[in-house]
Every structure is written in structure tokens, then in C-alpha cells.
Amino acid sequence: DAKTTQPPSMDCAEGRAANLPCNHSTISGNEYVYWYRQIHSQGPQYIIHGLKNNETNEMASLIITEDRKSSTLILPHATLRDTAVYYCIVGALEYGNKLVFGAGTILRVKS
């Protein structure tokens, strides 16, 4: 079973920041938090991942709480093309472990 909990859906206005929460209260010490998204009719796309520290790349920022039991993916300036299902996944993928997908959050960016 997936080890994360996400809201089923969220709406965001175009140009505004989209903040997608994820709870992972049973995360282990060696497990990372990964975010993927799936745009309609495409395969999932890797966004970002982190262990303890906050991370930022060209696509998004990842904020992980100090106790690591929850995190937030931030899309700083959401566009209509960011409409997708966003999956928060925990795992130790560097050790060859598998990705286990939960239900994800449907993000709808509206103009």
C-alpha cells in the first residue's frame, strides 16, 4: 500500500503558486520523498525529490517538515499545462526499491 496521503483534488489560478500537500507519517530514515506528475495520456514525469532539506529545481520546490512527516510541492507560477495528477511517493529508490503509487492529487489550473 502507498505510504502517503494526498488530497484528491485541488484548484489553482493560473499564474499563482500551487501548493500540494502530502502526509507521510510513517516515512523511514533512509526514504526519500519523490514527486511525479502525470499529464493526461502520458507516462508519469519525475519532478523533484528530497530527503531532509528543502529542494528546488527548474520545475518546482519541495518543502519537507523538520520531522519529515509531511511535505509540500510548490509550483511557483502555475500554468494551464501544469494541470495533471501529482503523486507523492516515499521510498529508497537508490537501493532499487520500487515506486508505489497512491491515488495522487488532481491539480486543475484555471485561467
Partner 1 sequence: SAVISQKPSRDICQRGTSLTIQCQVDSQVTMMFWYRQQPGQSLTLIATANQGSEATYESGFVIDKFPISRPNLTFSTLTVSNMSPEDSSIYLCSVEGVSWSGYGYTFGSGTRLTVV
Whether the CB-CB separation of 92 and 106 falls below 8 Å is answered with no
Q: Is residue 44 involved in binding partner 1 (CB under 8 A)? A: yes
Distance CA 57, CA 77 (A): 13
Give min distance, CB of 66 to partner 1, in A: 21
Query: Which residues between 55 and 74 bind partner 1 (CB under 8 A)?
Result: 57-59
Give min distance, CB of 4 to partner 1, in A: 11
Residue choice 78, 104, 105, 107 for contact with partner 1 (CB under 8 A):
104
Phi-psi region at 104: left, alpha or beta (left = phi > 0; alpha = psi -120 to 50): left
Q: Is residue 29 involved in binding partner 1 (CB under 8 A)? A: no
